[in-house]
Amino acid sequence: MNRIAVCPGSFDPVTNGHIDIIKRASSMFDKVIVLVMYNARKNGGTLPVEERAELIRRCVDGMPNVAVDFYGGLLADYVKMNGVCAIVKGLRAVSDFEDEFQQALANKKLAPDVETVFAVTSSEYMYLSSSVVREICRYGGDISGFVPDVIREDIVKKYSSET
Ligand code: ADP
């Protein structure tokens, strides 16, 4: 059976915490789609979704069952249109839980055949979020270890000028 999972998020920008969840999802499912979403609650984000997706593509180059896509609509519609069986989300702390729980229930209502699966963060990435990376870039700090090396310089360039 071809079991397709989606890892949705803003990825503004992608971090090592995201990559860890993507890798782990790729070992559990036949195919993983990393889905960059336009999040109206985050004012659409800093970089255009196409650019965020391009940065992720460079990081998942060596993962043969991982693809990257972007979408401006409802996640529930995307999963139904693409034969997805699971939505994989990462949990860093209790504070992530309430929002993720609500989203999982709403998605279950809209797409009843699709399960939300939660992966607990690896402890070394517990503190890591895209907003922490944006904040460090804004003040010219060092993001080594926060984002994949292959895109680090591009992130510094893009986010120090745009934030
Ligand atoms: P952020 O909360 O960093 O802005 P996103 O909206 O892009 O991130 O998050 C996409 C998914 O990745 C969410 O399920 C989020 O909980 C998860 N995630 C983000 N950072 C981490 C991390 N350091 N460890 C585990 N999961 C994470």
* Distance from Cα 80 to the centre of ligand 1, integer Å: 23
pLDDT range class, residue 162, cuts 50, 70, 90: low
75-89 burial, b if ≥16 CB within 10 A, otherwise e?
bbebbeeeebbbbbb
Q: pLDDT tens digit string along 71-86?
A: 999 999 999 999 999 9
Once rounded to an integer, what is the mean pLDDT over residues 112-141? 95
Say yes or no to pLDDT of 138 above 80. yes
Say yes or no to pLDDT of 41 above 80. no
Q: Which atom of ligand 1 is nearest to the CA of 89?
A: 14
Least confident range of 38-47, 60-69, 105-114, 119-128: 38-47
* Distance from Cα 39 to the centre of ligand 1, integer Å: 13
Instruction: Specify whether the CB–CB gap between 147 and 129 falls below 8 A.
Output: no
Q: Is 12 exposed, middle or buried (0-12, 13-18, 19+ CB in 10 A)?
A: buried
Q: Is 34 in the pocket of ligand 1 (CB under 6 A)?
A: no
User: For residue 37, what are the CA distances in angstroms to 41, 105, 140?
Assistant: 11, 19, 27
Q: pLDDT tens digit string along 84-107?
A: 999 999 999 888 889 999 999 999
pLDDT range class, residue 7, cuts 50, 70, 90: very high
Q: What percent of the chain has pLDDT above 90?
A: 88
Catalytic residues: 18, 42, 92, 130
> What is the residue-averaged pLDDT of the chain?
94
Position 161, amino acid: S
